[in-house]
Structure 1
């Protein structure tokens, strides 16, 4: 299992407005404590790790929306997967991989 620390969190933050506040709310701590975590002045507490993972969607839980998308994906013929993936990347403005 990866170490959930400041660098781990920074690598996953997108920089969207209010994101650190939402993280603080999800953890049940003040935004000041989140800033201290990010600066290395405070460690992520063991009880906070599951909430950090959940916030970033890395807790292994699958949402209903993800289940629906997977069900649709499985109905698409294998030979069309690359075309669908390319369309999704285009929708995200990401270059081809």
Structure 2
């Protein structure tokens, strides 16, 4: 399995959070994040400006776990040791149990 750095994971999460990334044009790290339950796809609604067929497009979106991990890594990015940690291999944090 391919390993990704903390920086690569953060940038992928950031990209999915702030942009509409077509799943068909996804970078490899997106598939990895999907396998961890941090990313999924949704069908983008299309508004046809012209008559004719407009194929639906699936876009990458962050799951709740992905948003939490994005927030954690973004906080880490502000830390003093980010220069060292950004190039180390990413290790997924354990999902936290939510209290009801």
In the superposition, the TM-score normalised over structure 2's length comes to 0.30
Structure number with larger C-alpha Rg: 1
Larger RCO of the pair (alpha carbons < 8 Å, separation 6+): 2
Structure with the higher fraction of residues in helix conformation? 1
